[in-house]
Chain A
Amino acid sequence: MEEKKEGPSKGAVVVPFLVGFVAAIAFGWWGFPQLLYSSKSQPLNFTHLNHVQDYGIDCEDCHYFRPDGSYAGLPSNEKCAECHSMAMTSDPDEIKFVEEYYEKGVEVPWLVYQYQPDNVSFSHAAHKDEDCTACHPDVGSTNELPPYYENRLTKYSKETMKMKECERCHAKEGASNACQVCHK
């Protein structure tokens, strides 16, 4: 009588399964983002905290609404040059701003963490009662600008808001979620 073949032990099935499972989880949550995003740093390090604390500049002095209600967004060279038309310190970033950008008439190519595509019409004026940090990174309380992660596939910033985030807030606040509210 032939010896009955022994089935696999429980461990022989579960262990490889668990190893595979954990490896996939690890790859999916840690390795995949490393692959998907490239890290970029801003062209200059702007010290928000120093400007606010040491020089008493308000956020709205640079990030302001124009008289017509449109939002200026990031300040232009001209705005920065109101103080920094010449280097006031020996800080390499300030010197770089003056020599590489302002004097050459080249706008600083700031990387915008929350750039929205043109098919979305977003009005800052309509959202001015919200806290800026509800959408934007809290850059005002630090002197370091966070790294900018660019999606290698889509070329958008990692922090670009998706439609579901807009919708969730609109629903919570009782604002309309009709298509034409944002897609004009």
Chain B
Amino acid sequence: MALDRRSFLTFVAGGAVGTLFTPVIWKSIDDTAIWTQNWSWIPRLEHGPKAYAATTCKLCPAGCGLNIRTAGDRPVVAEGRTDHPLSQGGICPLGAAAVQMLYSPARIKGPMKKQADGTHQLVSWEEAEALLLEKLNEAKGQGGNVACISGDENSTMNEVLSGLLAQMDSNRFFLMPGESLTASKAFGSWLKQGVLGYDLENADLVMAFGADLLDSWGTAVRNKKAFGAAHPIGEQATTEYVYVGPMQNTTGAVADKWVSVAPGLEGVLALGIAYHLLQSGMIVPEALDFSSYRSFVLSRYTPEYVSKVTGLSSEQVAELAVKLRRANRPVVVPGSAISQGNGVFSLAAVMSLNFLLHPVNSPGGIFVLPDLPTVVSEAMEPSIIRGNDLVSFVQKITAGKTDRPSVFLVYEANPVHGLPQAEAMSKVFDDTFLASFSTFYDETAARADLILPTPYFLERWDDVQTPHGAGFVSYSVTRPVIKPLFDVKPAGDVVLGVAEKLGLDLGFSSFEKVLEAKTAALAEMDGFLTDKVQPWQVRTGASPAPAAGNQWRNISRGAVWTTAVTPFVPAVLLAARELSQAAPPDVDDWAYPVRLASITSRAHGSRHIAIPPFCLPLLGEEELQGKTFYVRMNSTTARNYGLKANDRVKLVGPGGECVARVRIFEGVGLNVVAAPLGFGHTAWDEFSRGKGDNIYNVLTVRTEPGSDLSVWADSRVRIAKAY
């Protein structure tokens, strides 16, 4: 039988039919489908033993405890820590992004030096440290020729850096400006041994003026926990929360009562309330300047005047006074929604209510929280550091009134982006040698001549001392959970090493040893660990067992140290002189007629951390669209300026401008525009940069009369439709 055409075709047909009875077709289709999903970049899970590592967050100053869950020694997710009194199991959006930020594309991979063309190139640590040493050597002994800006107000790193400066005859050590600076200007004359704290947990009325307690202000997660404990589901609230502020932000929306007052006028309202309290016979016996305070308030802050300035009715003001008088343990929290830039007038006016309502160190009121002992030789005292005004210093340099340092050390701070009038302020770094100790490639690092990358907080030793806004003293340690992913070196070790080569003796060979010494120094104070008794419970009678055992071992593994000891305060000053001199003028500013209520949220990052990719999905349609962000104003304000929802609007301040879209929100007061900080990054990575504009550029610094403090929380702008 020959193989003819017919036979061939039937052979093929037979083959085709036969194939149907084999897996060839089905298996090929299935495998091809799987093959199309095999990409080299698909991440593979690495399995391993699960564990938890208790540590302390460094992404914002609130100092929350974090439990880092690890699988096979790799961090997988950050969770809240129920045993940490500053977070009590809670976590904020930024803290929840902690593990993702470890792998951020904005991480700096190794030391970098700026090249002639402005780009950064990786160099070795030897070369980087030699360059730093050379620059510091040039500046050594020329008092003040080196300055330092620290963005971490709670770390013992500040002792290392300020100790280095002190031994180089410079006292130009600054923190990024915050409210502790304002408090220092207001009460620093009598309050040198610590800061004032707010016992929210024991209060039965919390009245916050400006401070966005339930989002980003102070110990935000602890504040929320106190609020939650006082508002049990389905039951009557045990503590009333009243928010006095320019907009219905998170605190305004959640609080039991929201009182709308334009930014900068919180102090006027507070003194209006003080008027009623004084009228009812309340006094501050321990205040040395009480009589001048009393006569100033009674003569100027009459119900009619306060009503005229704030726009609230006299009855509303009187009602707030009644609330405070009737409460057993009321606490009043002063602040600004952005935790910076408020004036002595605003702070002292609001704080004076606390002094009127109860003596210092009463449960449910305000407490003096003592500073922890310093350990690095010649380190600046915390009270001195708090009083150093960075913005004034920068203004003096740019105005030519003081010498420009030849070397700027910037530690975990982003002044190029995060100082008011940022563009103008960042000119201070022109013609100086700028060295940035940073984990991320932020705007300051991008500008720096030398980048000395610090390990991420999950890769290093660090600590958190009593954060701003806390109600009790606390000390907890940040510890490495994973070996550094990149060629980074702890800033403390770099500084100690360079100091030694400069012939200076800071007393330590490594930063870990500094922390060990710090922990040992706590023994001077009568403290305890918070594993069984919480610090606020001690104020209502609980008695803790004193801290025992190996202190460093316990604290370095996550234990939190605290003390209930409060310094004796024989007398206070209500800052009556500053109040009378710094009172805001009655006349309106017609050049910049709209008040700017800047806001900040942990969902947008923090002072030194740009919004993490993890938080981007939290941004609503009316917060960011494409590259443009939104500012909020009420419909009347918008109508007055010919604006509609979604219109592009230009905000112009005396020092800069920005463009946004309009979101109509009736929770913003009349003639106020609310704008979020934390946008407009130009460095960082593809996820965080190029989103919105930087409101810091629009904030306007003024010098407050009487206190000589730089103030910008009450900035004003001009708004107009942008085309």
Contacts and interface: CB of A to CB of B under 8 A. Distances in A.
Contact of A18 (B14, B19, B51): B14
A28 B31 contact: no
B7 A12 contact: yes
B11 A19 contact: yes
Interface in A20-60: 20-25, 27-29, 32, 36
Contacts of A156: 34
Interface in B13-34: 13-19, 21-24, 27-28, 31-32, 34
B34 A21 contact: no
Interface string A57-83: 000000000101010110000000000
A134 interface: no
Nearest to B13: A17
A174 interface: no
Q: A interface, by DSSP: helix, strand, loop or mixed? A: helix
Interface string A141-157: 00000000001011110
A109 interface: no
Contacts of B34: 153-154, 156
Nearest to B49: A66
A12 B34 CA distance: 42
Interface in B201-237: none
Contacts of A70: 47, 49-50
A65 B616 CA distance: 38
B14 A24 contact: yes
Contacts of A12: 1, 6-7
Nearest to A32: B24
A20 B49 contact: no
A118 interface: yes
B10 interface: yes
B532 interface: no
Contacts of A17: 10-11, 13-14, 17
B50 A24 contact: no
Counting contact residues on chain A (CB < 8 A from B), the size range is: 20 to 34
Given A11-B1, A25-B18, A28-B23, A153 B6 contact: no
Contacts of B17: 17, 20-21, 24
A1 interface: no
Contacts of A13: 6, 10
A23 B18 contact: yes
A68 B24 CA distance: 44
A45 to B, nearest CB: 24
B18 A153 contact: no
B639 interface: no
B44 interface: yes
A131 to B, nearest CB: 23
Contacts of B42: 118
A15 B13 CA distance: 12
B548 interface: no
Interface string B27-70: 11001101100100011110101110000000000000000000
Contacts of A11: 1
A178 B32 CA distance: 26
B15 A24 contact: yes
Contacts of B24: 27-28, 32
A21 B14 contact: yes
Contacts of A68: 49-51
B486 interface: no
B35 A153 contact: yes
Contacts of B45: 118
A17 B27 CA distance: 24
Nearest to A19: B11
B18 A24 contact: yes
Nearest to A76: B48
Given A154-B34, A154-B35, A32 B22 contact: yes
A123 to B, nearest CB: 12
Contacts of B49: 66, 68, 70, 72
Contacts of B15: 20-21, 23-24
Contacts of A27: 19, 22, 24
B538 interface: no
A8 B47 CA distance: 67
B12 interface: yes
Contact of B21 (A18, A20, A28, A36): A28
Interface centre among A17, A73, A156 (most CB of B within 10 A): A17
Contacts of A19: 11, 14
Interface in B652-694: none
A8 B18 CA distance: 23
Contacts of B47: 70, 73
Nearest to B23: A28
Nearest to B15: A20
Contact of B22 (A15, A16, A20, A29): A29
A153 B32 contact: yes
A27 B19 CA distance: 8
B22 A154 contact: no
Nearest to A8: B6
Contact of A28 (B7, B10, B14, B22): B22
In the A-B complex, list the 9 residue pairs whose CB atoms are closest, starting with the nearest. A28-B22, A20-B14, A24-B18, A17-B14, A20-B15, A21-B18, A16-B11, A21-B14, A20-B11
Interface of A: 8, 11-13, 15-25, 27-29, 32, 36, 66, 68, 70, 72-73, 118, 151, 153-156
Given A12-B6, A66-B50, 17 more contacts: A16-B11, A16-B14, A21-B17, A23-B18, A24-B15, A24-B17, A24-B18, A25-B21, A28-B21, A29-B22, A32-B24, A66-B49, A68-B51, A118-B42, A153-B28, A153-B32, A154-B34
17 contacts: A16-B10, A20-B10, A20-B11, A20-B12, A20-B13, A20-B14, A21-B15, A23-B18, A24-B17, A24-B18, A24-B19, A24-B21, A25-B22, A32-B24, A68-B50, A70-B47, A153-B35
